[in-house]
Structure 1
Amino acid sequence: MLRNLGITCIASVTDMAVGYPQALVRRVGHPVMWIGGLIGMLDRRLNTPDTTPARRRANGFVASVLIVSVPTATAMLVDRAIRRILPRWLALPLTAVLASSLVAQRSLHDHVEAVAIQAHDSLPAARRAVSHIVGRDPEQLDKAGVLRAATETLAENFSDGIVAPLLWMAAGGLPGAVFYKSVNTADSMIGHRTPRHAAFGYAAAKLDDLVNLPASRLSALWIILAALTLKGMSARDALRILWRDARHHRSPNAGWPEAAMAGALGIRLSGPRAYNGISVAEPWVGDGPAALRPADLHRALALYRRACLLQTVAGFSAVGMLARHLFARRR
């Protein structure tokens, strides 16, 4: 347990400081890209147009097992090899650096910040920036819609891209984080309610809902605690909106960090939107204005940074307390 917590803390700091270098992406790709290649191959082979819906759903369960087991088993072998070959003082930080590639603190911040910067001067540029991080049609978004989409993505991916992988890393080390990332990537690629993936992606979507349940609640807690430490933000309203609106969200998990962030910032999120030209009537989350300004997104980023910092501090505190407890027992 102490080793996993140590890996988690070092991975969090490493990602926060340097992220995943783009030069490395160009040379060898990214773990999510490798997992995505496996998912794409299974999708092409097991989800053919001539397959019946019942067979597609069954094939989707088989695909989900393979999507999770192959990367996780590979991570277990890598982790075991590192521990056998290298001394402990070197094995742990190396494993943590590898695990940091599965966390997205820095990349999420940079992508959302790019939207905020572009929104000051150019709506088309802001739309292009937000298109990299949302699934909805950016051409149908006005300036406020672009800013809401970026804020919602920041809240949701704080849970999916940061809290959840770190939580599973703390539970299972590098294999635990790879397990989670495999599930989450499968949901993002095939867990859609489209004619092609409604049946085939059913298992992936349900599994993602399950594994994200603890992290979504924890992410809301970090946002509320972060709001307590920042001027002009309301932890009380974050808790109130969370209690009132989180359960009405289309997702059983995304509504938690989204509602907490909307309440803390005093803004309104979610609402009607369009995916691939199809309008979706989503309920609003929050009480404040829906006409967001770039300053609101900058405030959301400040709240996000503070929440990430609190989580990292809590992780190091847990390591310290557990280490002291184990040391006391040995004495």
Structure 2
Amino acid sequence: MFFATTALALLIERFIGYPDILVRTIGHPVQWIGAFIAWLDARLNPESEPGNRLAGMLALLALLVVTGGLALAVALALRKLPYGWVAEAIIATPFLAQKSLAGHVRAVADGLDRSLAEGRSAVSRIVGRDPEQLDRSGVARAALESLGENASDGIVAPAFWLALLGLPGIALYKAINTADSMIGHRSPRYLAFGWAAARLDDLVNLPCARLTGLLFALAAYFSSRTSAKAAFAAMRRDAHRHVSPNAGWPESALAGALGVKLGGPRAYGGRHVDLATMGDGKSELDANDIRDGLSLYGDALSLLAVIAVLLALAF
């Protein structure tokens, strides 16, 4: 187990993040992974003749072999050094997204304070739905849903696989998750080709989404503005109703804890989708609800870091 590496990576990334100067000079590791996925997509899934499930499985296998192989080589080299685990933690930090997720969601609240147009513009950077179809409450709801789902995909899941398998674990997880976001769609082009990536992403997120919901619910104990009891009740009642096998857990816990209602109808590319609701609280939301969500998110991250530190000290 790599608890000390995980604890240090969480602490470094939460307060420092991935420096902008590195983004400008060498890019971001997830961008490198994305570029490789795009290269595989262009060759194995040409627009003139979209690939099938087998082609998608081969693309995913190539992605995992290259990403996992490079990460394993780096990890083995670092573990020969006296404080190699510290370097491994530093290298793992770009695969966590605590600081950037908080910044993007906070930008929605700040934009919504200024105008609906600015709120729509900010939320369009973190969700795929049509921003022009959203009123003020819809913008706030979309931001909170993104906060819940990405707390799992962007933080808890990478930390879980880092703790379990070290640097190769977190790198492989981000490769799978990035592949799902790029090719795991139900569009004609990716329905068959992205099937393997989507299914594997569901599998590796299975324990992590439930853990994220649990963290939100437990963190709700630390504030008088949130309800742990309602968070647990919402998870039991609503999590399985979500169209995703995983996203319902953090979203329902967040909704219950904040006393709001998430989910429901929305539009993607002009296509209207009627999704199940998460939580049974108020429906009219605003920027203050986003900030309450960010406060709970911060408490959940602190709880995650404490758990990682305690496990590192114990093991």
TM-score, scaled relative to structure 2: 0.98
RMSD (Å) for aligned C-alpha atoms? 1.0
| Among 110, 130, 133, the residue aligned to 2:103 | 110
Identity %: 49
Residue in 1 aligned with 2:265?
Answer: 272
Q: Distance in 2 between matches of 1:72 and 1:315?
A: 23
Residue 79 of structure 2 is aligned to residue 83 of structure 1: yes
Residue 25 of structure 2 is aligned to residue 31 of structure 1: no
User: How far apart are 1:40 and its partner, in Å?
Assistant: 0.4
Partner SS for 1:281: strand
Per-residue CA deviations over 1:114-163 (Å, capped at 9, x if unaligned) read 10111111111111111111111112111111111010000001110000
Q: Distance in 1 between matches of 2:172 and 2:244?
A: 21
Residue in 2 aligned with 1:231?
Answer: 224
Q: Distance in 1 between matches of 2:35 and 2:297?
A: 31
Residue 40 of structure 2 is aligned to residue 47 of structure 1: no
Partner SS for 1:120: helix
User: How far apart are 1:66 and its partner, in Å?
Assistant: 1.2
| Among 129, 134, 156, the residue aligned to 2:122 | 129
Q: Distance in 2 between matches of 1:207 and 1:239?
A: 27
Partner SS for 1:279: strand
Per-residue CA deviations over 1:195-231 (Å, capped at 9, x if unaligned) read 1111110000000000000000100110010001111
Equivalent position amino acid for 2:58 in 1:
V
Equivalent position amino acid for 1:65 in 2:
L
| Among 48, 57, 63, the residue aligned to 2:59 | 63
Which structure 2 residues correspond to residues 236-315 of structure 1 after superposition, within 5 A? 236-315=229-308
- Structure 2, unmatched stretches of 5+, are none
Per-residue CA deviations over 1:144-190 (Å, capped at 9, x if unaligned) read 11111010000001110000000000001111000100000000001
Q: Distance in 1 between matches of 2:192 and 2:219?
A: 40
Per-residue CA deviations over 1:65-87 (Å, capped at 9, x if unaligned) read 11222111101111122233xx3
Q: Distance in 1 between matches of 2:47 and 2:104?
A: 35
Which structure 2 residues correspond to residues 195-206 of structure 1 after superposition, within 5 A? 195-206=188-199
Bigger drift between 130-139 and 301-310 goes to 130-139
The higher radius of gyration belongs to 1
Q: Distance in 2 between matches of 1:77 and 1:320?
A: 27
Q: Distance in 1 between matches of 2:15 and 2:113?
A: 27
Partner SS for 2:107: helix
User: How far apart are 1:319 and its partner, in Å?
Assistant: 1.1
Which structure 2 residues correspond to residues 155-194 of structure 1 after superposition, within 5 A? 155-194=148-187
Bigger drift between 31-40 and 65-74 goes to 65-74
Partner SS for 1:283: strand
Q: Distance in 2 between matches of 1:108 and 1:25?
A: 16
User: How far apart are 1:239 and its partner, in Å?
Assistant: 0.7
Q: Distance in 2 between matches of 1:309 and 1:257?
A: 16
Per-residue CA deviations over 1:42-68 (Å, capped at 9, x if unaligned) read 11111123436xx52110111111122
User: How far apart are 1:192 and its partner, in Å?
Assistant: 0.6
**How many residues were matched structurally?**
315
Partner SS for 2:267: strand
Residue in 2 aligned with 1:325?
Answer: none
User: How far apart are 1:94 and its partner, in Å?
Assistant: 1.1
Equivalent position amino acid for 1:20 in 2:
Y
Equivalent position amino acid for 1:88 in 2:
P
